[in-house]
Amino acid sequence: MAKRARGWEVVPASRRKRPVRTGVASSPPGKKRLRIAKASKSRIRDIILDWKGPKFTWPLLMTAINREFAGDWRPQSIAKHADLQHYFQVTKDRIRKETADLAAGKRPKTVGATTEVLLDRIKHLQRENGDLKQALTENEARLNRWRKNALLNRVPISMLDAPLQPNDRGRSDR
């Protein structure tokens, strides 16, 4: 039998496939890891960019996100997404600028409720437009890659444009 490092035998074999040196599990039993799906990612982006208030920190943001999704995410799970981290920094800079303007004696312009709603709608549509432009560039790059691969494998364009054959699963019509 191979010699094991000291401390590896502490964890019972029935609990984990891979033992841990300290004997303590990385997460409590029953806790599930939450994935950030595309829909929740866009909602998290909206929460970050629509933040109102004098303070904006990771703990405050995580409280709002966990309350919204009834989850238990940590700041690291949000910060590992580069775009969400960028939105966090943009919002942090915006709030810092607003705070500096208030300290300098500049008063924010008061606008009517209708104007505020319309400005929020414009911001939302601009964000959505930016997301769609990014998706379009990704899809164009994918299409160009497929074209190149088809040409390298001598697949004619007429074959690529041909309709798909219906699935024949060998079933009778009865």
138 pLDDT higher than 80: yes
Q: Residue 170: its pLDDT value, please?
A: 76
CA separation (Å) from 123 to 41, 49, 99, 127, 129?
Answer: 17, 10, 21, 6, 10
Neighbours of 44 (CB within 10 A): 22
Instruction: Give the residue with greater pLDDT, 119 vs 136.
Output: 136
Domain spans, the chain: 34-108, 109-157
Read off the tokens for 66.
């966990």
| pTM of structure | 0.53
Average pLDDT over residues 58-87: 87
Q: Residue 126: its pLDDT value, please?
A: 92
Amino acid letter for position 99: T
- Per the prediction, the chain carries an average pLDDT of 80
Residue 141: pLDDT band (50, 70, 90) is very high
Q: Residue 3: its pLDDT value, please?
A: 53
The full 3-state SS of 33-68, as one line of letters, equals: CCCCCHHHHHHHHHHHHCCCCCCCCHHHHHHHHHHH
43 pLDDT higher than 80: yes
Cα separation, 86 vs 127, in Å, equals: 14
39 pLDDT higher than 80: no
Instruction: Give the residue with greater pLDDT, 135 vs 27.
Output: 135
Q: Residue 143: its pLDDT value, please?
A: 92
27 pLDDT higher than 80: no
Residue-wise burial string across 151-169, b where 16 or more C-beta atoms lie within 10 A, e elsewhere: eeeeeeeeeeeeeeeeeee
8 pLDDT higher than 50: no
Cα separation, 144 vs 81, in Å, equals: 26
Q: How many residues comprise the chain?
A: 174
